[in-house]
Amino acid sequence: MRAVIQRVSSAAVSVDKRLVGEIGKGILAYVGVEKGDDDADLKSISSKIASLRIFADGEGKMNLSVKDIGGSVLVISQFTLLGDCRKGKRPSFDRAEGPGEAKALYEKVVTALRAEGLAVKTGEFQAHMEVESVNDGPVTFILESRKGN
């Protein structure tokens, strides 16, 4: 499982010009499910999203998690995170999990983040979404469950 997370001042997602999710200060998390991902992968990613210390403390050091600051998380499914662009000019998505299993694991990530006590908003799985965000920093990290992140 791969996630790209951004520390944001605000973020919102719309589908067909309809706002479906919006947060203030927190994390915008794009999540892609890879073939073979399982509960261990989703636990790794969700735990890291909830506990990664990427927010400034009183001394301006990245020392607080989204939970520590009472922030929110906007989770967006994004299979293109598994795209392989090494060969040719068209990405290959062979590593991306099929929609059925991917949706189930994506929803488990959302459930796990809520179980951490976080306010979580989402986009719509398999929908064409428009995402707006104000990246605070900018601060962006790539998380991969299979590489020990």
Q: How far apart (Å, rounded) are the C-alpha atoms in residues 91 and 75?
A: 23
**Average pLDDT of the residues of the chain:** 96
**Does residue 147 carry a pLDDT above 80?**
no
Q: Do 25 and 72 contact (CB within 8 A), yes or no?
A: yes
pLDDT, residue 59, reads 97
**Does residue 95 carry a pLDDT above 90?**
yes
**Does residue 149 carry a pLDDT above 90?**
no
pLDDT, residue 67, reads 97
Domains of the chain: 2-147 (3.50.80.10)
Q: Do 57 and 9 contact (CB within 8 A), yes or no?
A: no
**How large is the angle between the packed helices 39-51 and 99-115, nearest 10 degrees?**
40
What is the pLDDT averaged over residues 86-96?
A: 94
Residues with Cβ within 8 Å of 86's Cβ and at least 6 positions away in sequence, in order, are none
**Does residue 82 carry a pLDDT above 70?**
yes
Active site residue ranges: 78-80
Dihedral sign for Cα 63, 68, 73, 77, please. positive
Rounded to two decimals, what is the model's pTM? 0.94
pLDDT digits (tens, 9 = 90+) for 30-73: 999 999 999 999 999 999 999 999 999 999 999 999 999 999 99
Q: How far apart (Å, rounded) are the C-alpha atoms in residues 139 and 83?
A: 22
